[in-house]
């Protein structure tokens, strides 16, 4: 089988998203047809594709054939025969060339004139339209354009591309304008000579400003106006200058020397560097340093901000800012190779998803890595509160810990408590041993794994030893593990098996604001365990953490230590420790009005950022579900391939729950700083995680939530607005390694209308599973269990009836043997009942050839996966293996073992079985687009 080139691979990948290959073929054909239409339009000069960049004076069509027909000289030269050029009726070679040059020049001039005229027409139309509708339609929905008839017959993606390209040009023009203004900042009301030559009259200036305003998605919120005026000492809601009509910088008098020198440096830099527009940092600079002045490039701001926020910029940050300082030759080589691979398709601005991830420097010992990371740890806001946290939890069994996102809660808390005297494993009254380990719960497995990896790096230990994790189907920890990151579902499971959690000295419930059923049940159960362990004089410490928490409610709920022996006495609230300060500022932007289609807006924003900010600076986009993510990713990939070759390339990555875990971990590996990673994720990336390199967040403001539909008796996923707490968490994914930006694809008013906190899952889900868990844990009176928010009585009754119907409860409401078996499966009760029933069937019909249980497991496995049940085996295996090796150091050993056992089992196969297996593999490969159907 021949290896497909990168473009084919990307296409094959896209095909794999749809299992309907026929449909894909039709689509492909249509695309080819569209491509042809585009080319012919270009050659006739109609609907010519505008280049993404406004830097290059030379307009080119996107399709190579058009290019080649327009440059015969070059064609001839590439054919290797300059004499071939002499074909002009007896003219000498030189004369012919001269003549052609002249013609070419005249043609270009004419083209330039035409283009200018067309642009002017477009601008006028756009300005007129904007004055009609407030500018909204100029970017949203791509409904308005210079010549609507021209695009009528184009398919939607092409229309979108064309519209986007046109708008990008307008955007870049306006950015350039604001950049020019900033180089020579003057009074905002006095137009700079560069920006406003005398030939331009006042009305056209106004039009220009208007266009600038409306060509961007993000409006200037009230609060940012205040901050510009110096009233607000917060970087929230500050509009990036380059997105504004009148830059912030123009309010200031003169640039500081430092920034001016950066500008000078920037101007003298080669094209790709100097054309990058300013970051929104001038206001940030002004606020942080008290020095008003224009923005410079992102790197200068980073350095500047770091100066102010922390005296020593974190080491990782320094590396990130100056990729050239890498001393590791191996790494250099690697990245060269990577670039060669990436660059072999010069027209595509897209990094192939199969591109190997650059390896981390291998020559650094674990202790060296830990030593480097120590510098980062010491700059975290939580670092100075170490003693306070230690003494609070020494004196009290419970504590609420609140601190900004990125302040260091999840990574540092375990390390702060590790050496405390109460952490020692010790014997209880009966001689049973208690303690020695800390459990830190996370709502999602991806966070648990990445945090364990980070903390083991910080401690310089091997993953799975002193620091480990335990998530469903994957336990990387042993008896020696001291800090164990677990999902809250796994902790619940542990409580089922060991009602005292005797292994642990402390349990930290992280991201408690998420209020999943498991978190709420876990907290209710932990409350009881803390009391029980206190009585046995082997206390279990409980810490509840979040950045966005209702502190009073939580501290009253978990309660502090009793003040007397009177057991009836109500517990005082738990002590609260609040960590002030954030690590880096994040600027927030809102849209001026509500959008119909956040997917389109997300695409636009991604490219606006890409064109506006220099690399490094990855983008994290929050979308709603896997389908939306796949759609968005393929649109971005398609558009990225049409970018100019001098623009930084893009690497589009996806992150959602049903993705292969190794694929999920891939986003955490630092990539080539010259390539921009665009990670499109669901809310699984919302809390706890730090995706290295992310500087920009795009938040669609929506989430898919499970809702129980009483009439139908089923749960379904519905798209709803997020809460303010969620929005803050999403914003908090930027500003962790450097200052960042957050683009909210909704207006500020909408944000204010969002619920303050996320509604507890318990209040809108089917309670049957939760009640079965409680019953199995021995809680018979489920109605009076301590819930943080109690569901209504009807929900209880409905759930209890369901459990009774499934034989999980007897007539008195006690759990039955069937119920106990059911509670062990991490499935909804209805599904676990089917498994138990199938198991019974197996026992009864031992002679039957039908393997009911296996069939049932197959069906339920498919039902458990959100959406995509088709594997992507071989195509990803190389990439997946690279990632796995970095995440799981024991992988080579595991693989050896697996290979040995596979070889054993291969020997037992009959010829037919082997052929069937091969056939199945081929079909699977075909479905997932690895092998063309006609191969």
| Contact residues for ligand ATP, defined by CB under 6 A | 380, 403, 405-412, 450, 454, 547, 583, 668, 687-688, 690, 692, 732, 736-737
Burial of residue 746 (number of CB atoms within 10 Å: 0-12, 13-18, 19+): buried
What are the tokens at 695? 């500087």
Beta strand spans in 272-420 (E): 398-403
Q: What are the CA-CA distances from residue 753 to residues 64, 109, 221, 789 (Å)?
A: 50, 54, 15, 22
Angle at 584 between CA 583 and CA 587, to 5 degrees: 140
Alpha-carbon gap, residue 584 to 308, rounded angstroms: 10
Alpha-carbon gap, residue 875 to 928, rounded angstroms: 9
Q: Between residues 380 and 770, which has the closer beta carbon with respect to ligand ATP?
A: 380
Would you mind telling me the total number of residues written for the chain in this entry? 935
Rg (CA), the chain: 31
Residue 242 phi, psi (nearest 5):
-65, -10
CB of 446 to ligand ATP, least distance (A): 12
Alpha-carbon gap, residue 626 to 659, rounded angstroms: 9
Q: Between residues 39 and 379, which has the closer beta carbon with respect to ligand ATP?
A: 379
DSSP per-residue letters across 864-875: HSSS-----HHH
CB of 412 to ligand ATP, least distance (A): 6
User: In 3D, which of 143, 114, 149, 115 has the Cα closest to residue 129?
Assistant: 143
Q: Between residues 239 and 449, which has the closer beta carbon with respect to ligand ATP?
A: 449
CB of 690 to ligand ATP, least distance (A): 4
Say whether 280 sits in a helix, a strand or coil: coil
CB of 317 to ligand ATP, least distance (A): 8
Alpha-carbon gap, residue 262 to 257, rounded angstroms: 9
Q: Between residues 402 and 640, which has the closer beta carbon with respect to ligand ATP?
A: 402
CB of 555 to ligand ATP, least distance (A): 18
Q: Between residues 48 and 582, which has the closer beta carbon with respect to ligand ATP?
A: 582
User: In 3D, which of 731, 897, 710 has the Cα closest to residue 801?
Assistant: 710
CB of 411 to ligand ATP, least distance (A): 3
Q: Between residues 104 and 316, which has the closer beta carbon with respect to ligand ATP?
A: 316
> In which residue are the tokens 């966005």 written?
548
Q: Of all helices (H) and strands (E), which one includes residue 174?
A: helix 156-183
CB of 377 to ligand ATP, least distance (A): 8
> In which residue are the tokens 């919120």 written?
221
CB of 668 to ligand ATP, least distance (A): 6
Q: Between residues 63 and 687, which has the closer beta carbon with respect to ligand ATP?
A: 687
Q: Between residues 382 and 856, which has the closer beta carbon with respect to ligand ATP?
A: 382
Is residue 464 within 8 Å of 476, Cβ to Cβ?
yes
CB of 547 to ligand ATP, least distance (A): 4
Q: Between residues 403 and 539, which has the closer beta carbon with respect to ligand ATP?
A: 403
Q: Between residues 447 and 768, which has the closer beta carbon with respect to ligand ATP?
A: 447
CB of 454 to ligand ATP, least distance (A): 4
Tell me whether the omega of the peptide bond preceding residue 364 falls within 30 degrees of 0, making it cis.
Answer: no
Dihedral angle, C-alpha 763, 769, 771, 774, nearest 10 °? -120
Buried b (16+ CB within 10 A) or exposed e, 4-28: bebeebbbbbbbbbeeeeeebeebe
The alpha carbon of 210 is separated from its chain's Cα centroid by a whole number of angstroms, namely 33
Q: What are the CA-CA distances from residue 886 to residues 320, 475, 659, 690, 889 (Å)?
A: 20, 17, 18, 17, 6
CB of 382 to ligand ATP, least distance (A): 7
Q: Between residues 404 and 748, which has the closer beta carbon with respect to ligand ATP?
A: 404
User: In 3D, which of 251, 249, 178, 252 has the Cα closest to residue 215?
Assistant: 178
CB of 453 to ligand ATP, least distance (A): 7
CB of 345 to ligand ATP, least distance (A): 31
Is residue 493 within 8 Å of 503, Cβ to Cβ?
no
Residues contacting 84, CB < 8 A, separation 6+: 76
CB of 373 to ligand ATP, least distance (A): 8
Q: What are the CA-CA distances from residue 609 to residues 284, 732, 733 (Å)?
A: 18, 18, 16
Say whether 610 sits in a helix, a strand or coil: helix
Q: Between residues 513 and 527, which has the closer beta carbon with respect to ligand ATP?
A: 513
Say whether 810 sits in a helix, a strand or coil: coil
> In which residue are the tokens 């796949």 written?
630
Residue 520 phi, psi (nearest 5):
-65, -45
Q: Between residues 440 and 765, which has the closer beta carbon with respect to ligand ATP?
A: 440
Alpha-carbon gap, residue 501 to 76, rounded angstroms: 79
Q: Between residues 643 and 694, which has the closer beta carbon with respect to ligand ATP?
A: 694
Q: Across the beta sheet with 586-590, what order do the strands follow? A: 586-590, 740-744, 694-699, 618-622, 676-681, 650-655
CB of 687 to ligand ATP, least distance (A): 6
Say whether 848 sits in a helix, a strand or coil: coil
Q: Between residues 21 and 390, which has the closer beta carbon with respect to ligand ATP?
A: 390
Angle at 226 between CA 223 and CA 227, to 5 degrees: 90
Q: Between residues 13 and 582, which has the closer beta carbon with respect to ligand ATP?
A: 582
CB of 457 to ligand ATP, least distance (A): 8
Pairing of strands 483-487, 467-471: parallel
Is residue 832 within 8 Å of 825, Cβ to Cβ?
yes
Q: What's the DSSP call for residue 688?
A: S
Q: Between residues 281 and 408, which has the closer beta carbon with respect to ligand ATP?
A: 408
Q: Between residues 390 and 594, which has the closer beta carbon with respect to ligand ATP?
A: 390
CB of 586 to ligand ATP, least distance (A): 11
CB of 685 to ligand ATP, least distance (A): 11
């Amino acid at each position: 089988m021949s290896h497909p080139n990168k473009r084919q691979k990307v296409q094959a990948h896209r095909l794999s998203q749809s299992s309907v290959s026929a449909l894909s073929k039709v689509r492909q054909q249509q695309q080819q047809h569209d491509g042809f239409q585009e080319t012919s339009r270009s050659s006739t000069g109609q609907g010519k594709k505008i280049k993404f960049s406004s830097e290059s004076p030379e307009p080119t069509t996107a399709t190579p054939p058009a290019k080649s027909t327009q440059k015969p000289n070059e064609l001839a030269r590439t054919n290797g025969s300059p004499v071939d050029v002499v074909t002009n009726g007896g003219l000498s070679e030189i004369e012919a060339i001269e003549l052609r040059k002249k013609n070419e020049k005249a043609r270009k001039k004419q083209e330039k004139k035409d283009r200018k005229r067309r642009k002017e027409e477009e601008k006028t139309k756009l300005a007129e339209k904007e004055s009609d509708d407030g500018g909204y339609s100029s970017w949203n929905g791509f409904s308005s354009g210079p010549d609507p008839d021209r695009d009528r017959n184009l398919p939607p993606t092409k229309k979108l591309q064309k519209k986007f390209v046109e708008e990008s040009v307008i955007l870049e023009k306006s950015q350039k304008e604001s950049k020019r203004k900033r180089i020579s900042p003057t009074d905002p009301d006095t137009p700079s000579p560069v920006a406003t030559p005398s030939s331009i009259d006042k009305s056209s200036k106004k039009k220009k400003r208007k266009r600038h305003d409306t060509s961007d998605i993000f409006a200037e919120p009230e609060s940012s106006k205040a901050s510009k005026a110096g009233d607000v000492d917060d970087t929230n809601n500050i509009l990036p200058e380059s997105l504004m009509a009148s830059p912030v910088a123009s309010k200031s008098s003169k640039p500081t020397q430092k920034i001016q020198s950066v500008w000078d440096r920037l101007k003298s830099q080669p094209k790709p560097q100097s054309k990058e527009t300013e970051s929104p940092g001038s206001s940030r600079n002004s606020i942080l340093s008290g020095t008003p002045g224009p923005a410079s490039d992102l790197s200068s701001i980073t350095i500047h901000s770091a100066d102010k926020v922390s005296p020593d910029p974190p080491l990782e940050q320094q590396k990130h800012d100056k990729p050239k300082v890498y001393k590791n030759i191996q790494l250099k080589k690697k990245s060269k190779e990577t670039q060669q691979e990436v660059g072999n398709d010069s027209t595509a601005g897209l990094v192939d998803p199969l591109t190997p991830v650059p390896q981390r420097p291998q020559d650094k010992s674990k202790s060296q890595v830990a030593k480097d990371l120590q510098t980062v740890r010491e700059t975290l806001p939580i670092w100075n509160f170490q003693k306070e946290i230690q003494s609070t939890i020494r004196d009290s069994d419970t504590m609420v810990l609140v601190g900004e996102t990125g302040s260091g809660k999840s990574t540092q808390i375990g390390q702060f408590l590790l050496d405390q005297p109460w952490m020692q494993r010790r014997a209880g009254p009966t001689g049973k041993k208690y303690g020695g380990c800390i459990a830190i719960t996370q709502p999602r497995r991806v966070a648990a794994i990445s945090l364990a990896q980070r903390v083991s790096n910080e401690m310089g230990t091997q993953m799975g030893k002193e620091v480990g994790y335990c998530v469903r189907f994957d336990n990387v920890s042993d008896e020696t593990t001291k800090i164990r990151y677990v999902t809250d579902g796994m902790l619940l499971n542990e409580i089922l098996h060991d009602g005292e959690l005797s292994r642990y000295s402390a349990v930290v419930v992280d991201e408690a604001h998420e209020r999943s059923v498991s978190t709420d049940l876990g907290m209710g159960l932990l409350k009881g365990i803390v009391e029980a362990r206190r009585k046995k004089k082997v206390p279990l410490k409980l810490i509840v953490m979040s950045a966005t928490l209702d502190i009073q409610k939580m501290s009253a709920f978990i309660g502090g230590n009793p003040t007397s022996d009177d057991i009836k006495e109500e517990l005082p609230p738990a002590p609260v420790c609040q960590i002030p300060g954030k690590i880096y500022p994040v600027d927030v932007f809102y849209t001026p009005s509500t959008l119909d289609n956040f997917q389109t807006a997300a695409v636009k924003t991604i490219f606006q950022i890409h064109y506006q900010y220099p690399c490094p600076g990855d983008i994290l986009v929050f979308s709603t579900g896997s389908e939306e993510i796949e759609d968005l990713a393929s649109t971005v990939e398609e558009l990225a391939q049409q970018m100019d070759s001098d623009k930084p390339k893009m690497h589009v990555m996806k992150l959602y729950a049903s993705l292969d875990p190794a694929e999920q971990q891939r986003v955490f590996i630092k990539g080539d700083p010259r390539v921009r990673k665009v990670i499109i994720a669901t809310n699984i990336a919302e809390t706890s995680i730090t995706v290295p390199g992310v500087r920009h967040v795009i938040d669609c403001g929506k989430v898919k939530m499970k809702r129980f539909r009483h009439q139908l008796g089923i749960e379904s996923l519905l798209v709803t607005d997020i809460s303010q707490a969620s929005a803050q968490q999403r914003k908090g994914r930027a500003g962790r390694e450097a200052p960042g930006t957050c683009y909210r694809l909704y207006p500020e008013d909408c944000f204010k209308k969002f619920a303050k906190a996320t509604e507890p899952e318990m209040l809108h889900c089917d309670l049957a599973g939760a009640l079965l868990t409680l019953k199995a844990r021995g809680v018979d009176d489920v109605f009076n269990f301590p819930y943080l928010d109690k569901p209504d009585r009807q929900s209880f009754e409905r759930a209890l009836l369901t459990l009774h119907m499934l034989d999980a409860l007897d007539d008195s409401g006690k759990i039955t043997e069937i119920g106990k078996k059911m509670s062990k499966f991490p499935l909804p009760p209805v599904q676990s009942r089917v498994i138990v029933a199938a198991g019974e069937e197996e026992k009864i019909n031992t002679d039957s050839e039908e393997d009911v249980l296996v069939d049932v497991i197959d069906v339920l496995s498919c039902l458990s996966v959100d959406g995509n049940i088709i594997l992507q085996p071989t195509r990803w295996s190389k990439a997946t293996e690279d990632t796995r090796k970095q995440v799981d150091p024991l992988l080579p050993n595991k693989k050896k073992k697996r290979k040995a056992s596979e070889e054993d089992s291969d020997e037992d196969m009959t010829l037919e079985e082997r052929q069937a297996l091969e056939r199945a593999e081929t079909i699977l490969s075909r479905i997932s687009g690895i092998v063309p159907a006609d191969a």
